[in-house]
Amino acid sequence: MKIYHNPRCAKSRQTLALLQENGVEPEVVLYLKTIPTVEALKSLVSKLGIRPLQLIRKGEPAWKENFKEKDLSDDEILSAMVAYPKLIERPIVVKGQKAVLGRPPENVLEFI
């Protein structure tokens, strides 16, 4: 199991703690330091069963200032996430070919 984690995010910390409380020690990916590639993001979006736009944190200043009013393709949105990784919604927990957003953190219980 893997978690795309931002230790400064309360939901991300809660999700990681919930996994650990249930005996799971996931591989922790600090995605702001180890930025996922476009291909890795495509894989995550596919595993989540969503479109790239659904993985965007639309309240982030980088989104509002650079992308909000634009009609972007999926590839352009993925490229924006690589350029501005804070745009990536978090946390994302991956198990095999499935992934889930930890919003709310209890979403990850389906993997335990």
Separation CA 49–CA 111 (nearest Å): 16
Contacts with 80 (C-beta within 8 Å, 6 or more apart), sequence order: 56, 62, 63, 66, 67, 72, 87
Which residues are annotated as catalytic?
9
* Residue 98: HSE in the Cβ half-sphere, 13 Å Cα cutoff: 7
Question: Are 62 and 86 within 8 A, CB to CB?
Answer: yes
